[in-house]
Structure 1
Amino acid sequence: MKYQIYKVALISCGVVFTSNVWAAQNSLADLSEKQRLERLERLISSDVLRQQTEAMRSLREEISSLRGQVEQQEYELESMKQRQRSLYLDMDRRINGVEAGSRNTATFTVPVPPPNTTATNSAVPVVAGDVDGQEAYSKAFALLKEGQYKQSIQAFEKFKKSYPSSKY
């Protein structure tokens, strides 16, 4: 009797296990090719989706970094422009100051009498005029600044002929 109980228990366990295996096989066998393909696509797409998400995150970080670099370069460029503008205005101011100073000192000259002259010979102030061409050069340069290029060229050529040994 004991032996028969073991036999029945063993057979029933075998039936249960084989039915589970057979049910699993049937569940895969019941799936059509289309369903199997969809199941595989879902498995693969979840991996692809994860990779795409990672790629998107990486691209966003790179774009953010590039935007930061662009902003920094725009700031540096604007600083350089401002510095260049400041230097140009400073240089222009200095040149105008030198030109104005030269005009004031070269307008009139008084000759110094030689040491052995008598009191009867008095020194008469003489207007030196435009000895070195400063005034002519300034006028030609002013025409150039105003955008009157043809007149400026003519004025510079006249200056060159009139004052060939000028420092300007």
Structure 2
Amino acid sequence: MRDWQSQTHVKHYCKYHVVIVPKYRKKAIYGALRRDIGKILRELCCQQGVELVEGYAMRDYIHMLLMILQQCLRDQQEAFKNFWAGRAKYLSFKKKTARQSIRLTKAAFNMKGSQLFIAKSKEPLAIKWSRERPSEPSSVTISKDKSGRYFVSMLCEFESKPMPVCDS
């Protein structure tokens, strides 16, 4: 049975078959390269927010079945639009040593009380809350700093209170 993804107004089943073939279909993928290629491709998929559903490294080709998170596609589309409009530089991959983050919209996470569940996870994230939430979050950003600590920031709507008036 298909594993349908769902968002606020849409259900989708979006998987891509990717085949990487050496020039002239030369049997060049063997030995240490064949052992390491899976690790390299999994790491690249993780950096780009792509789920590697299945993959095979044969002697003359590599076959992968990928499921791309829709939020990553939207972010990439927006980045390319900004590049072509001259508002931004060309896209670059996130570096492994730099701050890594993922932004999840309401369809990709669920709040049950004070527990945060992300998509495809049965266990809640272990979070130490620093303050009360003013309302339900509309998006969540999970980021990892260089020392390996994770942080969760939430976008919530609330009514601002007017500041007291000063005499001076």
Q: Please classify the TM superposition score into its range, dividing by the shorter chain length.
A: under 0.3
Higher strand proportion: 2
Higher helix proportion: 1
| TM-score normalised over the length of structure 2 | 0.21
Q: Higher Cα Rg: structure 1 or 2? A: 1
RCO comparison, higher one (Cα < 8 Å, 6+): 2
| TM-score normalised over the length of structure 1 | 0.21
